[in-house]
Amino acid sequence: MASTTLSRQKAAITATGKYLPPDILDNKFFESYLDTNDEWILTRTGISERRILKDKTKATAYMCAEVSKSILQKKGMNPMDIDLIIVATVTPDMFFPATACLVQDMIGAKKAWGFDLSAACSGFTYAVTVGAQFIESGMHQKVLVIGGDKMSSIINYKDRNSCILFGDGAAGVLLEPAEEGYGILDARLYSDGAGQEHLYMKGGGSLNPSSHETIDNQMHYLYQDGKAVFKSAVTGMADTAFEMMQRNHLKAEDISYLVPHQANLRIISATAERMGIGLEKVGINIQKYGNTTAATIPLCLAELDEQGKLKRGDNLIFVSYGAGYTWGGVYVKWQ
């Protein structure tokens, strides 16, 4: 008797969207008041400029709502059709309510529920994997996954070690049930809380609630031990990307694009080298936007999509590393 194997429903990325605030901070801006220069920033990080959301009345939810609206418009979709909104961010508008609730209200997705996910620079890798589970289980048909961060709200612009690295932005995807053989086919996610001491924002939480003391001690700003994070990130990203290739029997020539977290061009290049692929197969936009934390991967993906570079059947690897530590990889066969 012939037997048929039914493969589990997968989730496909069926649209991408992005939002970048209009104001630009270029390297010359930092030269004007800090002991740094364009050449150092460019050669050590790959960054030339970043976007900043200057309007004090707007924050992460606004940027994520703009992303959602652009996706709805592209798909010609009614916001009432959205089932779930997941926002990956470490710079929510407020501790509560969740940024996802604010986005839901801003776009009029009255039938959707939503929540925020905190995994810093791995926010999108985590969130897209979580979102896919709701499609795979059959519970939902349309899930918005947005990564957005207003990093300028937690950056100390007097700290040359960190302020030159980060920018503001948001981007995201729509997930829907995939056609057989396409979509998000694999994911590996990791965390190691022992890395917490190298990248954090200590103030404002329940351990160190905001007070004059936390402000005086500058605990409301991001702190990063760049060298320590670099060491872990460079091996973590490369190892995870390589692991995704091995698990899915992908050779270098099978990879269409690596879509990596954009923290440092040297980390991205090392990851590509480990995978055996040239930089022409890597999504890179760090020079224009810096590190936008949860937004980097969807931002890169949205730009590849806009440029018409993604074709049906393309093998894409997303890979990230960030505070926590958190890291992970996702393998997508583009539908």
Q: Which residues pair with 329 in a beta bridge?
A: 188, 319
Position 125 contacts ligand UT7 (CB under 6 A): no
> Which lies closer to ligand UT7 via its Cβ, residue 61 or residue 286?
286
Residue recorded with tokens 């396409």? 182
- Using CB under 6 A as the binding rule, the residues of this chain from 276 to 335 that contact ligand UT7 are 291, 321-322
Nearer to ligand UT7, 60 or 104 (CB): 60
Between the alpha carbon of residue 236 and those of residues 102, 130, 141, 262, the distances in Å are 34, 21, 33, 14
* DSSP label of 237: H
Residues 9 and 134: their CA atoms lie apart, in Å, by: 10
User: What count of other Cβ atoms lies within 10 Å of the Cβ of residue 276?
Assistant: 12
The residue (of 109 and 229) whose beta carbon lies closer to ligand UT7 is 229
To the nearest whole angstrom, how small is the minimum distance from the Cβ of residue 213 to ligand UT7?
27
Instruction: Tell me how far, at minimum, the Cβ of 295 lies from ligand UT7, in Å.
Output: 11
For residue 265, state whether it binds ligand UT7 (rule: CB under 6 A): no
In this complex, which beta carbon is closest to ligand UT7, that of residue 230 or of residue 331? 230
Residue 255, classed as helix, strand or coil, is coil
Sign (positive or negative) of CA dihedral 59, 62, 65, 71: negative
Q: Tell me the residue number closest to ligand UT7, measured at CB.
A: 226
What's the rounded Cα separation, in Å, for the pair 128 and 144?
9
Are residues 109 and 80 in contact, defined by beta-carbon separation less than 8 angstroms? yes
Residue 45 falls in which region: left (phi positive, over 0), alpha (psi -120 to 50) or beta:
alpha
Q: Which of 24, 44, 75, 270 binds ligand UT7 (CB under 6 A)?
A: 44
Active-site residue flag, 315 = no
Candidate residues 121, 155, 268, 294; the one interacting with ligand UT7 per rule CB under 6 A: 121
To ligand UT7, the closest distance from the beta carbon of 306 in angstroms equals 24
Q: Report the site for ligand UT7 in 205-244 (rule: CB under 6 A).
A: 226-227, 229-230, 233
- Least separation in angstroms between CB 46 and ligand UT7: 9
Return the residue of 9, 29, 31, 40 that touches ligand UT7, per CB under 6 A. Answer: 40
Q: Assess contact for 198 and 263: CB atoms under 8 A.
A: no
| Integer Cα distance of 64 and 99 in angstroms | 9
Shortest Å, Cβ 245 to ligand UT7? 21
Q: Give CA–CA dist 69/72, Å, rounded.
A: 5
Active site residue 121: yes
Indicate whether 164 belongs to the interface with ligand UT7 (CB under 6 A).
Answer: yes
- For position 271 contacting ligand UT7 by CB under 6 A, the verdict is no
Binding to ligand UT7 by CB under 6 A, coded x per residue (else -) over 54-93, reads ----------------------------------------
CA distance 187 to 332: 9
101 part of the interface to ligand UT7, by CB under 6 A:
no
Residue with tokens 């997941």, as numbered in its chain: 86
Which tokens go with 46? 């790959």
Choosing from 27, 64, 101, 121, which is the catalytic residue?
Answer: 121
Distance CA 29, CA 147 (A): 27
Q: How far apart are CA 77 and CA 221, in angstroms?
A: 39
62/325 with CB nearer ligand UT7: 325
Contacting residue, 185, 187, 267, 302, with ligand UT7 by CB under 6 A: 267
Single-letter amino acid code for the residue at 63: M
Catalytic residue among 64, 101, 163, 261: 261
Residue in the structure block whose two tokens are 């916001």: 79
Binding-site ranges for ligand UT7 (CB under 6 A): 36, 40-41, 44-45, 121, 160-161, 164, 226-227, 229-230, 233, 263-264, 267, 291, 321-322
The catalytic residues are 121, 261, 291
